[in-house]
Amino acid sequence: MDGNRSESGSGVNSPAPSASSGQPKVQQPKPQTLVNRPGPSAILVSTRQKGNPILNHIKLLPWEYADIPADYVVGTTACALFLSLKYHRLHPEYIYSRVRLLAGKYNLRIVLVMVDIPNHEDSLKELSKTSIINNLTLMLCWSAPEAAHYLELFKSSEHAQPTAIRTQQAQSYKESLVEFVTVPRSINKSDAASLISTFGSLQNAVNAQPEQISAVPGWGGKKVQQWCNAVREDFRVETAKKSSATNTRLPSQPQQPTAQPQEQDMYEDEEEMLRSALAESRAREPAAATANDRQEKAQEEEMSEGIAVALAKLRE
């Protein structure tokens, strides 16, 4: 009785002992969220690709055979189908059956096409339409090492951020200046620095003569020629050609074809000559009312009427 009173009066709530062993209650561990594991580090290759020379050139990353519907798996959601145009010409139904087996298992579906025939335009046009309809990405290669390099690039960029392929923009005036000067292919950053340090400003470098630019250290004849061509090339602005005349016609009349520029100029010259001749004939007034003058005047009036009729026909 006394022992029970001392335990209850102490004010300490000790864990109740187990009925069987007398030890404290076991505390259960808390569950932890597991991070999603990345895909396999190796390129998965279908057994259909045994003997393909591409496999001999995949050296930067490991690869292994696997039972997959695609030819190559280069990511968790990316795959590739290999197609030779020479084989496609003999078996055009092969690629369609392979695409049908993929269904919707991968987000990025690549068709790696080996261009190994001379006349490939029609085949590539057909494959381009097929890629658009079936949500495929068409990649062309001309050799086995190039095809292997593409597979390695896709696999190595599986977990890359979008900023990895984003171009870096210039943050200062100096960087913008160097970026502008290095637009020609043969001019590098050191050439840009020597050019600006020699002339002091971009304006002086643009207005400098080729003989002065050739005196810059590291600037040869090829660089000088490319720089001068780049800064002295005219800007070409294409403007729409405006029609010189407007056609006026009735709604019921068909539209007449417009004359060519040379023919139109010829018609305008003839019309101007007829107008001048008609003006000269009408400007002549008779000085006396003689019979001969009247006869000449009648002839001139007939000639004027003929000119007017010819001018009206020309206008029509």
**Which range is most confident: 117-121, 280-284, 303-307?**
117-121
End-to-end CA, the chain: 136
Find the helix or strand (DSSP H, E) in which 81 lies: strand 78-84
**Span 95-117, mean pLDDT?**
89
Same domain, 155 and 181: no
Residue 276 domain-assigned?
no
**Span 145-163, mean pLDDT?**
86
CB 204 within 8 A of CB 196: no
DSSP-derived pairing of the beta strands 137-141 and 108-114 = parallel
CB 75 within 8 A of CB 108: yes
The total domain count for the chain is 2
Exposure letters 70-106 (e unless 16+ CB within 10 A, then b): bbbbbbeebbbbbbbbeebeeeeeebeebbeebeeeb
- Give the domain-ending residue among 232, 254, 282: 232
Per the confidence metrics, is the pTM higher than 0.75? no
Question: Which residues span the domain enclosing 228?
Answer: 173-232
pLDDT one-digit tens code per residue, 7-39? 444 444 444 454 455 666 776 666 655 445 455
Same domain, 103 and 194: no
Same domain, 102 and 66: yes
- The CA distances from residue 45 to 15, 66, 73, in Å, are 60, 6, 7
In terms of pLDDT, which residue wins out, 130 or 34?
Answer: 130
Same domain, 47 and 148: yes
Q: How high is the mean pLDDT of the chain?
A: 75
Any idea how long the chain is?
A: 316
The predicted structure's pLDDT at residue 281: 57
